[in-house]
Structure 1
Amino acid sequence: MAGASVRVETKGLPELNKALQHLLEQGQDMSAVYQEIGEYLLQTHQQRFIDQQAPDGTPWEPLSSTTIERKTRTDRVLTEEGTLADTLHYQLNQAGLDFGSNQEYAAIHQFGGTTSPFSMFSNQDIPARPFIGIASFEQDYIIDLVESHLVHALA
């Protein structure tokens, strides 16, 4: 290696070798911590529907008068029967986890846009009401989960 470098060898330190090997093995299989993160995200996102707010804490745009006329439940934004909130799920994969909803209309509520001319409510402007995301306090908690998992691997 060119430049400056430091070499760390653990020869003659079997306890350190064992701890590092265990940490390496634990770091290769993070499925348990990913599952814990997925369950945590389900809880926080369900709360988001109760609080009616985006991940950054801003309230969702109120319902329009047109929407209020069409809905049976007018006291909740993004909630008629609870389908959108109920379809939030996570899936573990090699790189971590995927989190979201498989409902077709989830994207238009997340990002906003204009409905299709062929939709139930054609050519309607829908404001963005982000419901998927990670708030700063959630990020801190997730980092703590990962750190705890790795610290436990050293124990």
Structure 2
Amino acid sequence: MGVRISGDLEGLERRLRSMRDLSLRPAARKIGEALVSSSIRRFNEQKAPDGTPWQPLAASTIAPRKRDFTRSGRLRKSAERRLVNRKILIQTARLRNSIAFTVNGTTVAVGTNVVYAATHQFGAKAGAFGRTSRGQAIPFGDIPARPFLGISREDQVEIERILKGGLDTL
């Protein structure tokens, strides 16, 4: 038993030949731009690619100065008012502003060259990076993962739209 296809395949063959010579570089650039924009947007929304909110900053991170706490360890009202609107992972915006993409053939890579980015993306346990000369753990406390790189459902839809747009022009 076999399969036989008959009909005028000239149009299909022409389209397949033109696809062989197609450069996906422009589409890859558009995908890279879209993913960088999406990653930057996550800093504003304070959410991971899957939509889960980032874990809030610890009180010790927000107000590391002793004068911000009462003797019993409570955060002072004045410090609370000053720090209430502080955004997670945006102290200097260096990490957010460093996100970039590269295109190599049909491959798109999105990332950052900031050294501490992996710690924020994946998290770190106290002591994960060794100890100081005084024996203190580095980092000093657990740092929760706050993923900012990745592909969300919306990103998947946008990537499909970009690729379909490139194929429709053939």
Match 2:98 to one of 71, 81, 87? 87
Relative to structure 1, the CA distance from residue 67 to residue 23 in structure 2 (aligned partners, 3 Å threshold; closer, same or farther) is same
Match 1:18 to one of 8, 11, 14? 14
* 1:57 lines up with 2:27 in the alignment: no
Structure ID, larger Rg? 2
What pairs with 1:100-115 in structure 2 (closer than 5 Å)? 100-114=111-125
User: Is 2:124–2:139's contact at 8 Å kept on the other side of the alignment?
Assistant: no
* 1:41 lines up with 2:52 in the alignment: no
RMSD between superposed Cα atoms in Å: 2.7
1:21: Cα distance to partner?
0.8
Extract unaligned runs of 5+ from structure 2. 66-81
Letter of the 1:106 partner, please give it.
A
Identity of matched residues, %: 32
* 1:133 lines up with 2:150 in the alignment: yes
Q: Aligned with 1:146: secondary structure?
A: helix
1:149: Cα distance to partner?
0.7
Using the size of structure 1 for normalisation, the TM-score is 0.82
User: Is 2:25–2:106's contact at 8 Å kept on the other side of the alignment?
Assistant: no
Letter of the 1:22 partner, please give it.
S
In 1: Cα distance, 2:53 partner to 2:64 partner: 22
1:18: Cα distance to partner?
2.3
1:14: Cα distance to partner?
4.4
Corresponding pairs, count = 147
Q: Which residue of 2 aligns with 1:68?
A: 62
Letter of the 1:128 partner, please give it.
A
Q: Aligned with 2:56: secondary structure?
A: coil
Q: Which residue of 1 aligns with 2:108?
A: 97
Letter of the 1:42 partner, please give it.
V
In 2: Cα distance, 1:62 partner to 1:5 partner: 62
